[in-house]
Amino acid sequence: MTGFGRAEAADGNCRITAEVRGVNHRYLDLGIKLPRRLLAFEGDVRGWVKESVRRGKVDIYVSIEELEGESVKVVYHRALAQQYTQALHDMAQDFGLNEGTDVMSLARLPEVLTMDRAEEDEDALRALLKEAVSGALAGFVAAREREGDALVADLTDKLAQLESMVDAVEERAPGIVEDYRARLLAKVQEILADRAADEARILTEVTLFADRVCTDEETVRLRTHIRSMRAELAKTDEVGRKLDFIAQEMNREANTTLSKSNDIATSQIAVDMKTCIEKIREQVQNIE
């Protein structure tokens, strides 16, 4: 399922912002982007995400911003600047050049000005990062739960449609055999003309036909799968992969029903069943 979450956490030194975005995926595929300062905590971030998310292509973006009172300061290396100045003066004297060094040119020379960061408290930084990521994950999960409620409602509706199709197949079944018996008897009587038809032979043929086209086992299994899927949808734990398996089994029974069908109406119902099951399979891919 898709989702988005964003959160911030700050102390006196910095502010960390975390964003979590996710789209549908059969498995968990994580993409984590951290600033250099936080790269050491990538394993921690991965673990925090896995505690809340089981499926989906999930991307986590983290940024860090220094605040006032930050621990970074600019350091002026006087001795090195003096050496640069003396060296430039000597070069001008040696080659008869004009001296024109200004403060900005001197500041750009390597190591004249450096950024110095005080040693950070890694535990405090990790805690701040966890607060931001956890907040973003909470928003992300809440968004997915709202989408999940909509998916459950849609799947419940599709299961009801599928169940009505199973009813139709079962209602049509006795008529298929009776229609075949009537057609067979009429054909035999046409061929035999004035002679009497062998009722026992016709009964045997009808019995064999009824066995070939019988879909009782398939419809019973389909009803069982429908009940199983409804029960799984009522659970709150991870059910996506099990729903996917049940949908595959439903499709197997619908295929068998279609292959056994010797009746246009039943064939059309079986095709509609397959279409409905395929829609169910597409939706359960989005459920964790």
Average pLDDT over residues 174-183: 58
The pLDDT of residue 214 is: 65
State how far the alpha carbon of 66 is from the alpha carbons of 21, 38, 126, 239, 269, in Å.
24, 13, 15, 43, 65
User: By the 8 A CB rule, do 22 and 2 touch?
Assistant: yes
In this predicted model, what pLDDT tens digit does every residue of 192-238 receive, in sequence order? 555 555 566 656 654 555 455 567 778 888 999 999 999 988 887 77
Q: Within 96-121, where are the H helices?
A: 103-107
The predicted structure's pLDDT at residue 20? 94
pLDDT-derived band at 122, boundaries 50, 70, 90: confident
**Distance from C-alpha of 178 to C-alpha of 146, rounded to nearest angstrom:** 50
Comparing 189 with 170, which gets the higher pLDDT? Answer: 170
Average pLDDT over residues 239-260: 86
Structure tokens at 110: 């390597």
Assigned CATH class of 3-69+124-143: alpha beta
The CATH number assigned to the domain with range 147-284 reads 1.20.140
Give tens-digit pLDDT for 46-71: 999 998 888 788 999 999 987 765 55
DSSP category for residue 166: H
DSSP 8-state class, residue 238: -
Q: Is the pLDDT of residue 75 over 60?
A: yes
Domain segments of the chain as ranges: 3-69+124-143, 72-117, 147-284
pTM of the model: 0.56
Q: Give pLDDT, residue 37.
A: 85
The winner for highest mean pLDDT among 28-37, 87-96, 238-247 is 28-37
Q: For residues 177 and 210, give the distance between their C-alpha atoms in angstroms, rounded to a whole number.
A: 6
